[in-house]
Amino acid sequence: MNGFMLNPWLDIKRIGEFIYIKNDQIGLNIKIGANYAGLIDKLRLFQPESVLKEGLSPSAFDFFRQTLILVPEGDMLWCRQGIFQQRDRLPGNPFQAALTYTDSADVLFGVGYARPVAASHPAQGPGAIRRYLKPGQADLGDIIIAPDETHQQIGARINLIVSELLHQERRPVMLGGDHSVTYHAVRAISAHRPVSLVMFDAHTDRYARAGRAEPLTHANVVQQLLDHQLVQQVMIVGVRDELMGAVPAAPDPRVTVIPACEAEFLSPSCFASMLHSDTDWYLSIDLDVLDPAFAPDVATPVIGGLSLHAARRLVRAATQHSRIVGVDVVEVCASTAPYHRTAHAAATLLEDALRSLT
């Protein structure tokens, strides 16, 4: 077992001669008997150094590895950042499996961050979207977000993951989560190359509350990207609403807005011609761009949105005719209905984008 380490995210408690190992995010809740209690204690003493295969049978080793009690030393970069592979989606090594697909340029990861004051939370968005994705997509799993973590801490981990994927010449595909997470992915890409943003959204996300400065939120993510000079251009498709109590930013020559009433009938060739070929683009899809008839379970639904057919047509046009260097799909909330229409629409748009990427 040389080269394996104890998972640093486990909640391990010893009660009598038993050890209880738990991690809710990966569905782990087991009791280790007296035979292995001493071994677990020993592994804890060696953390974070590599541990040796002493007194561990092959079957026990396979059990410890498959349950993510032990992880490969080379995967600790991902593990320490809270990335846990969705074990029902990729076989084998729980962390590196996604990155061994040599023909897969696109790698998914989930960020189930939700703003604390949201009436409808998009924290379950990554899992909901995955249920409607076709199998086989390389997927690192979700970042584990502790209750007391700040947005800056989460952002630093997104930055690390996106940067590592770019270093491996992969395209990051992020499942949200709150739309504010887009800022961190774009920021990571902008450190490697100039980038512009094409965003499908009911709102411009350039808002502020009157009379006060605000930290990064879903409502000002575009303005923050502009203020920090992280994007060259911004194209926003499907806008039809202003946030109540918020003040929209002044016009900016870097920003082009296509209202929903125009986007619904915009031809793919016309839209593609608007995405300048002299820049790379990051594609962000907020599901509230769709009319609530197609996507009711979003954080801020607005009547009068795009039909699913129109959105699919424009997403395909953007990905077929532009250099897309990253993608995200955000703001999908939980649903009480057995059929999650919004998550299905999100998965459909994402699969359209990934199939069409050049």
CATH number assigned to the domain comprising residue 262 = 3.40.800.10
Same domain membership, residue 292 and residue 239? yes
Same domain membership, residue 333 and residue 238? yes
Same domain membership, residue 208 and residue 322? yes
Single out the residue in 73, 97, 119 at which a domain terminates.
Answer: 73
Single out the residue in 73, 104, 134 at which a domain terminates.
Answer: 73
Same domain membership, residue 17 and residue 161? no
Same domain membership, residue 65 and residue 117? no
Same domain membership, residue 108 and residue 50? no
Same domain membership, residue 113 and residue 13? no
Same domain membership, residue 108 and residue 55? no
Same domain membership, residue 116 and residue 51? no
Same domain membership, residue 142 and residue 58? no
Q: What predicted TM-score, i.e. pTM, was given to this entire model?
A: 0.77
Same domain membership, residue 87 and residue 28? no
Same domain membership, residue 57 and residue 111? no
Q: In a structure prediction context, what are the per-residue pLDDT tens digits for the chain, which is 358 residues long?
A: 446 777 777 788 878 778 888 876 666 788 877 666 666 666 665 554 445 455 567 777 777 777 777 777 666 666 766 665 544 433 333 344 444 444 578 888 899 888 765 555 788 899 899 999 988 788 887 887 777 778 888 888 888 889 888 988 889 999 988 999 999 999 999 999 999 999 999 999 888 754 455 688 888 899 999 999 999 999 999 999 765 545 567 788 999 999 999 999 999 999 999 998 889 999 999 999 999 999 999 988 999 999 999 999 999 999 998 999 999 999 999 888 889 999 999 999 999 999 988 6
Instruction: State the total domains in the chain.
Output: 2
Q: Which domain holds residue 39?
A: 4-73
As a whole number of Å, the end-to-end CA separation of the chain is 41
Single out the residue in 47, 73, 99 at which a domain terminates.
Answer: 73
